[in-house]
Structure 1
């Protein structure tokens, strides 16, 4: 009996193997690229949100500081004008204050015991008549003899509004005589800022020195005067920064989601916090994932259809080749007559090879067309990536503009609004080269207040600050549209720089600066004239001269004016 041989397993299909290889070669790189793109997008968007919340906190803090300090300066200026005995006189001045600064919902004057002397507007007849001795805005100036920005409180004379107050002491011969106070509704300085921040998808929180809520936007679960210290760790920005680095907090939003937050400590002692909800990040990643998935799907579909189309053509060509070889074997006579140069034995094979070569050439042409389609698809993907890069560049430009705005704030003296030393150096660099040599002639005018220390000792530092602000404003008015600049070089010292082309008579300009100070008519009992005066030094530098030499010359001229008796101009 013959041995039976078991049926061998059919060999694996070459087409099936090729199909799996094509799928793996297309799917794995596409999935890998998609995941890498998502990781890169997550890191990039996270850093973008952190940078944006830090910049927003810094700019918002600066805006709130500017608003509050302006109101504080107005109240301090009114207090510096002196004590008015009659209540009617104070009512008129309070009315003028509220007319000039409409954000004050009310203003009052109280004596040294906290008794209200005058208010604007007048409270209704049924309003409580208690004094303000218990109010923070009275007690702190009473102790410190300095202007003060209060924490948040609820009004009681004209309503129950959410308020903050700015107040300044009334002083006479160094004795505390009372306060001038202005109440500001919280909505006056947060409404516009909150709307702008929320339009950018962020939320705003402001707390006072006791970490009680002054204002919280709708997306944050805080109420007015609520203690926020149990959920937020408050910290000061590091030196050289306006805001703290952004950190992530979970469960901080009203809907329970987390957010990135950055804090800015204000000059008033308040803390401003900006929150960027994490929903914006996940929304961006979701849109990015949908885009990547769509692109990958189109690529895979293109590969699959191209593969299926080519496989159908390959199978058809193979079938025709087999049929041609079979036909050659069946019809050798016709074949030999067409390829007579080949031996009889090779006529069928030669014809089959010739037909196969022709069909391979046709297949190669089709393959080139398919590759061109792939190149077109790659170009489309490249255009999409370029558009994304353009969006990133636009956002980078926005951040750069915000940084430049913050840099401008860092170049300005907070007290007088003039340039500070950093701003002066940057402005001088536009008139000189890297070696400090001038491009064009300039005039430098150095001046400072005569007997300013004695003025501060007699009238107080608040009066001294007010005098410096008024002096800076008067001298700035002399510039008009001139390309010059005014800088506070330190203490009571100032430096005025103008191109000589716009000021051919430097001494006349120095005299005008001196006269501007006299016209302020600021009383100064320790001055020889009884009024505050200044000493002025003038120097001019030629093109090519070292700018530091010109500034030193102006400073030396100032000292000569001091030694010559003050209240004069020396060139």
Structure 2
């Protein structure tokens, strides 16, 4: 390569590549830094919303459990101490539980260590008794310190209970503020939960706020006036010592305020480190490209003559003279012979390549078609192997594959609802109407079940004869009980005559249980089986949890 061309190439490299890349890289680093801060602000808002939603869901589930217990107490005479102890085992945040009569006297309590102190205690002056007694509504308190069974920091949830339409007392659960929600999985975020009077219910350790401390009396509360401004959210002096942080607020359904706080120093450090990493990579890429171009230019000068000889030998030496295509392909004079040789060679190889491509395309089409046929056959074989041929529900193998798929989700799975369903008096139905009618009845039962579950997300399994199992992942107790009621109603509305049934129609009984991990499924199925037999003993065409 001539000396003048080499120098021109280096100047062009610097002006056209290196300097623009550096300027563009600096702009990208600054933009990335700002984008990182904006993302941290957005994540703070999302974390506050998620934690508030989790807290709402937890309190909704607790109130639902208290109502279920109150409803059971309306229908039956319960051993309140035992029932409350069982409820406390299922909800670890509960410190104590009490049940009162209509005058506010405690008639049941949990845990067992609190029973002796609680029984007979008069709580008629407490808000958690007075509000449900007057209004008939659930009650969720603000932060306070207990003064009956203990002196612990508390928030309480209470619901009224009735018998024959008359107020009979309340069921009250006292909760530990530190266990209301799980803030351990949100990385560098701190959290603060304030009640309706802006007093601290719970604050993570980095905030240095005490239980029931008024937010207005702290630096945290004084800095919240500008929180509604999006620009101010990332620079509020809410941390101990006046350090600034990103702050987001979310309201709970009960009027509490939950704040997610991301200390700005931690956030900026992470954003700055990622921006610097990006700038270092950019610099390495620019200098690497420059070195590669310089090296390639030198190698090209030495290799040009050798490439020319090899290409002309490959092309049989019949190409035009060097420079013949200069007008069509402006190239440096030193590389024009290489271009001439490549053009000549490409013409000779094009025809051979065209034939080869056509042959390969034909073979590839055959391979694609055969592969599609094999895949379809395998899918059909897998479907048949996992499906009950009479009803179309999953068989035991299909159920096992569904459970393995749930296990693969690990901690993301959450709860799994189990419904065991048995068609009532099915043997008598078969004996009276014949096996063909019995097969149609089983298909109708599966159709009624499938109408109330999610296609693809839930599993409907025929476990044997007239028995079926439904697995519903990711739902709570209230949702699954609604599903059980809908299945009962759907089956009953199909109006299939059954003269040997006490209901005159074909019906079913359902046992319901919950598993909170895949390895609890077998135990949950045992509980669902026991619940199924209770439903049958109560007259069938019903469900039990």
The TM tier, using the shorter chain, reads 0.3 to 0.5
TM-score, length of structure 2 as denominator length? 0.47
Structure with the greater alpha carbon radius of gyration: 1
